[in-house]
């Protein structure tokens, strides 16, 4: 059985010995912050902040009950939008909008202020993934194209197990077209260039259409090995190799007459190291895994050993990249993504620390103190932020009051750690309904800290369903993207960001591409994000980052901002239009298909969360297509079924039967999935439904979804994961 957790009394706190030892022996040494300073400061702060945290959650519940009552009292009447909007203002759900202002954030790294590009989100609990994400600042375009479905496997261009020169030729041709588009030559094309590029007498022997794009170069054995270019403030590094045999797995040698070995793209400009939706951390043991990984990132010493193709690989953080300018000066470019830390929101507590009254510590407050302290190590080496700023992305805030509370938390941390005021910068996740309709006022509260706003369609949809649960049945999940509120939501995020002075100072972000294997489809669709005015958008992998980076070569986002400023602002009325369908005419087949699809996603995600402690993974859908699933996707699926159950679209018996059918399919998919063959063997849900903690948790999310705070999945997932951990041998 799992050993009973030990707690140590210190400054009115009961702290898990696992967490206490980590803080005292790993986190604090080298920071000039003493144990007394940290623990007394934390205790004073958390005992001051926790009651305020609790009060804010009570306000959430009070507002939700008021909205429920409003809809229930008018159940027999036709919906009156004007009355509804007036009501939301009366209960202070919609705030009065103040005068225009500009954010005053200072000391922002250029990755945030002046470089537009992809952003990765990575679970902080997985060291190997973190290293891959951090190192994805520079990614091989050749490898990305070769391994993706962008290059069709036709006419002999199959991927195969060894290098295929036919496919390699297709990659080279595709890349040549990109070079012509983004770093064009004068009076000629990269496609038919017959001169091997070289530096002769300090000059490049081929002429660019825009000479300013040529930034630097490298030489090896007096031969050109690298040419560095810049387009839309993103670098392109063309690598040359004059050897006939490049790699063991390339028996054809360098098949490129220009001797181009690879093209390296500056790709994931920033990475969110996530303690929230993509992790399954329920106790001190879990939290310390994530905290330690973040600490080692800040120290620059994180590493991960793993086996690949029979070889042991020790992955570390990449060094900076060095070049020579044409003025004979040294150029040094940052070798890694700028690392941001996403703390948890205000809802969850964790028994890693108990307060003097025996209550659990609010997890978001704990995250703020630990992750900020870890950044003190980076201040000495400047391996991440070169301006000594701390970047914390704060999710799931509901309205300006909760933004004010976040501001207060960060102020307390700054005082304890003796940081400068506003040295901790804040990213606002614009994902909850009350935040999105009051975004300007949320930003106003954090105007001296804000470095980022980002839309979150899935969480915003989950909150939409839960907030308006009593209105009626919601539209099909696939139809959500064609509702009135979604376009207003996406546009409003950009409109407000520009009004508040984000352009050239802070990030305006967009959401995730959820199908990591369908990158051809991503290339045709995700260009809409930079075209919308977003200077960053989420991608699921380094490969996707390198390909999405091409969109930022295509679109000059900062130039586009000038045009967007002139358009009509998003309509608030559309933003609060409820996606309800009062008299659905769905057939039994449509209803069953929707239930199967959502039950499949819930079960596929939850069984990994509960049994394997995996908070984010590529889960096969009902058609076998891998989808990135996290708590946000689980929230929308569970809330939709809960809504349909509440309004009689389906029955509990029907949903339970479908849950059992889909559990068998999920079991079959997972038993075939090599990634599920970890330390613990996979335990099928369908063998004994009544004994499967994961199956019970998935059902609870649906059958008790209406009563979950804001429709969040965390409380039930944490509860059942702790049960699973307690009985594990």
Question: How far, in Å, CA of 176 to CA of 166, rounded?
Answer: 16
Q: CA nearest 123: which of 286, 283, 285? A: 286
Question: How far, in Å, CA of 685 to CA of 662, rounded?
Answer: 10
241 is catalytic: no
630 is catalytic: yes
Question: How far, in Å, CA of 243 to CA of 321, rounded?
Answer: 22
Residue 164 near residue 157, CB atoms below 8 Å: yes
Catalytic residue among 167, 342, 433, 434: 342
Neighbours of 289 (CB within 10 A): 19
Question: How far, in Å, CA of 283 to CA of 280, rounded?
Answer: 9
* Phi-psi sector, 238: left (phi>0), alpha (psi -120 to 50), beta: beta
Catalytic residue among 630, 631, 700, 721: 630
Q: CA nearest 106: which of 394, 385, 382? A: 385
Question: How far, in Å, CA of 563 to CA of 556, rounded?
Answer: 12
Residue 615 near residue 123, CB atoms below 8 Å: yes
Which residues have CB under 8 Å from 301's CB, separation 6+?
none
Give per-residue burial for 175-194: e unless 16+ CB within 10 Å, then b: bbebbbebbbbeeeebeebe
Q: Are strands 13-16 and 349-354 parallel, antiparallel or unpaired?
A: antiparallel
Residue 417 near residue 32, CB atoms below 8 Å: no
- CA distance readout (Å), 469 to 151, 633, 686, 706: 45, 18, 31, 8
Residue 576 near residue 548, CB atoms below 8 Å: no
Neighbours of 239 (CB within 10 A): 17
Per DSSP, the residues of 2-36 read PPPPPEEEETTEEEEHHHHHHIIIIISTTTT--HH
Distance spanning both ends of the chain, measured CA to CA? 5
Question: How far, in Å, CA of 616 to CA of 175, rounded?
Answer: 32
- Token pair recorded at residue 358: 């025996």
Place of tokens 């930034």: 215
Neighbours of 510 (CB within 10 A): 24
Which residues have CB under 8 Å from 135's CB, separation 6+?
315, 317, 318, 335, 336, 337, 542
Classified as helix, coil or strand, 604 is: helix
Beta strands in 576-724 (DSSP E): 617-620, 626-629
- Kind and range of the H or E run holding 525: helix 519-525
Question: How far, in Å, CA of 603 to CA of 619, rounded?
Answer: 10
Instruction: Give catalytic residue positions.
Output: 342, 630
């Amino acid at each position: 059985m799992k050993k009973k957790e030990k707690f140590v009394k210190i400054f009115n706190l009961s702290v898990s010995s696992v967490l206490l030892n980590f803080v005292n022996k790993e986190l604090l040494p080298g920071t000039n912050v003493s144990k007394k300073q940290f623990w007394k400061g934390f205790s004073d702060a958390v005992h001051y902040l926790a009651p305020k945290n609790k009060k804010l959650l009570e306000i959430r519940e009070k507002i939700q009950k008021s909205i429920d009552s409003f809809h229930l009292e008018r159940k027999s009447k036709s919906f009156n939008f004007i009355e509804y909007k007036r009501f939301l203002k009366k209960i202070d759900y919609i705030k009065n909008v103040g005068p225009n202002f500009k954010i005053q954030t200072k000391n922002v790294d250029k990755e945030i202020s002046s470089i537009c590009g992809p952003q990765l989100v990575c679970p902080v609990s997985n060291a190997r993934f973190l290293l891959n994400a951090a190192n994805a600042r520079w990614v091989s375009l050749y490898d990305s194209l070769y391994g993706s479905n962008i290059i069709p496997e036709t006419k002999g261009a199959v991927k195969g197990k060894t290098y295929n020169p036919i496919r390699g030729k297709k990659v080279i041709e595709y890349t040549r077209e990109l070079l012509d588009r983004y770093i064009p030559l004068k009076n000629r094309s990269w496609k038919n260039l017959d001169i091997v590029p070289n530096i002769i007498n300090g000059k490049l022997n081929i002429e660019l259409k825009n000479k300013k794009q040529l930034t630097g170069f490298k030489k090896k054995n007096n031969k050109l090995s690298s040419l560095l270019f810049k387009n839309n403030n993103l670098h392109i590094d063309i690598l040359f190799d004059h050897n006939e045999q490049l790699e063991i797995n390339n028996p054809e040698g360098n098949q490129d007459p220009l001797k181009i070995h690879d093209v390296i793209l500056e790709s994931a400009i920033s990475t969110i190291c996530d303690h929230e939706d993509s992790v399954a951390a329920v106790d001190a043991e879990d939290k310390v895994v994530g905290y330690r990984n973040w600490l080692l990132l800040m120290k620059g010493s994180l590493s991960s050993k793993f086996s690949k193709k029979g070889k042991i690989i020790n992955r570390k953080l990449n060094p900076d990249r060095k070049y020579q300018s044409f003025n004979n000066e040294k150029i040094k470019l940052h070798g890694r993504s700028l690392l941001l830390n996403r703390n948890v929101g205000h809802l969850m507590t964790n028994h890693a620390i108990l307060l003097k009254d025996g209550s659990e510590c609010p997890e978001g407050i704990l995250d703020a103190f630990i992750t900020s302290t870890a950044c003190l190590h980076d201040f000495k080496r400047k391996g991440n932020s070169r301006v000594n700023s701390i970047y914390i992305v704060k999710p799931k805030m509901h309205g300006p009051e909760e933004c004010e509370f976040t501001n207060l938390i960060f102020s307390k941390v700054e005082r304890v750690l003796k940081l400068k005021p506003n040295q901790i910068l804040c990213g606002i996740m614009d994902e909850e309904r009350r935040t999105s309709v009051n975004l300007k006022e949320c930003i106003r509260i954090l105007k001296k800290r804000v470095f980022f706003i980002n839309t979150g369609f899935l969480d915003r949809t989950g909150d939409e369903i839960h907030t308006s649960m009593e209105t009626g049945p919601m539209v099909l999940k696939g139809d959500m993207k064609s509702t009135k509120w979604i376009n207003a939501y996406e546009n409003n995020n950009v409109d407000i960001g520009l009004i508040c002075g984000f352009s050239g100072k802070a990030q305006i972000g967009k959401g995730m591409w959820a199908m990591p294997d369908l990158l051809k489809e991503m290339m045709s669709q995700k260009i809409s994000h930079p075209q919308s005015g977003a200077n960053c958008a989420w991608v699921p992998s380094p490969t996707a980052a390198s390909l999405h980076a091409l969109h930022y070569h295509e679109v000059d986002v900062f130039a586009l901002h000038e045009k967007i400023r002139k358009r009509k602002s998003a309509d608030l009325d559309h933003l609060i239009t409820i996606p309800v369908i009062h008299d659905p005419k769905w057939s039994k087949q449509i209803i069953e298909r929707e239930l199967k699809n959502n039950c499949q996603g819930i079960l596929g995600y939850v069984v990994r969360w509960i049994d394997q402690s995996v908070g984010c993974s590529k889960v096969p859908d009902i058609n076998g297509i891998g989808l990135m699933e996290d708590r946000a996707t689980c929230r929308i699926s569970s809330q939709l079924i809960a809504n349909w159950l509440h309004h009689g679209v389906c029955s509990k018996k029907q949903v339970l039967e479908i849950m059992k059918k889909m559990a068998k399919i999920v079991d079959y998919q997972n038993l075939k999935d090599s990634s599920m063959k970890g330390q613990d063997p996979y335990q099928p849900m369908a063998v004994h439904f009544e004994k499967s903690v994961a199956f019970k948790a998935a059902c609870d999310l649906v059958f008790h979804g209406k009563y979950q705070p804001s429709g969040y999945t965390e409380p039930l997932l944490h509860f059942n994961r702790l049960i699973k951990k307690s009985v594990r041998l």
